[in-house]
Structure 1
Amino acid sequence: MRSLFGSLREKVASNYVKIVFPEGNDDRVLRAAARLKFEGLVDPIILGVKDEVHDALAHLGFMDQDYKVIDPNNFDQFEEMKAAFLDIRKGKATPEDADRLLRDVNYFGVMLVKMGLADGMVSGAIHSTADTVRPALQIIKTKPGISRTSGVFLMNRENTNERYIFADCAINIDPNAQELAEIAVNTADTAKIFDIDPKIALLSFSTMGSAKAPQAEKVQEATRLAKELAPELSLDGELQFDAAFVPETAAIKAPNSPVAGQANVFIFPDLQSGNIGYKIAQRLGMFEAIGPILQGLNAPVNDLSRGSSAEDIYKLAIITAAQAIDAKAK
């Protein structure tokens, strides 16, 4: 069986997807961008002072390629970008605000995506999640019918068929039933990028009414709403994790469920449980946790952990490129 990233590399290769890397002053980012360029997987756009970026690439031994480097402080389309930004913000930003914000590499990078000069962005190696996500929400915004973005983790064991999606483990602290339903439907689309046929379990400490509590009722209502939003999906809840994952347990706790015992996409009821869950799977289950992968935006922008390695950045860029290709195909 082909590995997940083997499949993704085949998907993005030679598509010349342009991905912005705002943090051109970080060696990990430069190593990842250089590898992506060398392997023909992504056309990187690196932000930074050109001489400094070129010197850093040369120091790392990567000046054998022709890299596109853009300095936000010396960009020949800056006035056009500023006008577009002011139009998007419609009275929420002054020209002075635009001048200041567009010198910020994350705002600048997101505007490159918005203007069609890039297909996606990967940031967060030296910036907080808020620094990456805020400009994306203000400029690119969420897709029609989606009230907010969410963050998923791909839980992967390379060279096996064990890959799962956990959501939302990064953004929404306590989503209500409508938001949870949207997250479930959005996550199905994300799963398909990784060749996962989504079987979606909305998780709880209760299975099919076995416990009575507002928290379980929220998941029940989210399940009902998700089925209305996307009746074609294989989706069910509320389910305890063992009922969702273990066929023998599913046969006892949820014998009539189309998902119980075979789920591969897990929707957690809140950020606290999602964050705990993915880290248990990562540390005890020895899964590689890739993400957070942001979903629900009109164009792909993804956030790195500040502890990311060059390998992590490389993989998230490939995923971002795959998201861009998938978005164009729709």
Structure 2
Amino acid sequence: MTNANLLKHAMQFLDLTGVGLAEQVSALRDDGKRTAPETISRWVNGTNPVDPFLMGWMTERVRAKLFNSVQPMVELPKDALIIGVVNPKGGTGVTSLCVNLAATAKSLHMKATYLHAEYEDARRRPGLVSMMLKPLRIECPDLSPEKILRYQPAPGEIVFVDVSNHLASNSFIYPTPSDADDRMKPDPKGFLDQFRPDFYLIPANLESYVDAAGTKRFIDGNALHAPKWIVHRPRSMSMKFASVAAKAGLDVESEMVCPYFIPQAVSTSTPIPRDMLSEWQNEDQYNHHYHLLEELLQKLGGRIMESYSLQQEIGTLSLAGLLELAEKTAAPRRRSA
């Protein structure tokens, strides 16, 4: 990129017109002369070479603005992501995990969407969830399972799909007492056999043999057509969960089990902020879900760049690099506005 183009883009980033820049440059001069707006125009158009002093000064202006506005930046592995959260057994924390991850994504200035996959006559809970998420500007469209299957996320959007245990259970054909094979089989007409998210999260309390065995049977049903993680959500800090899971046929050190577990909160109240200006009501829960989202994005090929890392990078970049970073950091905020 030429200096003329760099100057033009820097002026746009700093909200400077030619007249405004001419006034500021004139104020910097120690010879008492003024820089005319026509001089700025000739620089921007490439008619005259840009003053090297001006390029250095503009570089530091852009750097200072980035320092003052730096926020965590999320790089998605693709244009958009759909994350399915599911377990056919009730009480495993599917909705809690979904809601908390959506709120975590929003805290990182992402365009976050919550979808509840449930039968038409049973879609009552989305109203309660919407009351919690809409003050955070998280989209909660009330869509039928058929419309969720066809949902196309916008660029930069991360979608969390809360699959109800009824819809998940009815995605299988169950063996009859006379069947020699007692495994569940996916129903080709079921929701899960048609759903194609980018990743599945399966919350379960692996300290419970019932949860662990049910989760193993669910996975063995082969209805999940995406990479998956079992997310351990313990009620206590017992270290016996690995042996309990092993009895159910699950290896907690396998790639199928998330390396982060999320302890269930003692309080039954929601840990997420009440609105865009509020803090999380349970900082520990925020940290747990932040690390889960961070690990998930890394597994898929994306990343969360922390504010500290961004500040270090900003301090070493050229004007071209600064303007490129400014575009990357501004785009997610524009999409989530």
Name the TM-score, length of structure 1 as normaliser.
0.32
More strand by share: 1
Q: Which has the larger radius of gyration?
A: 2
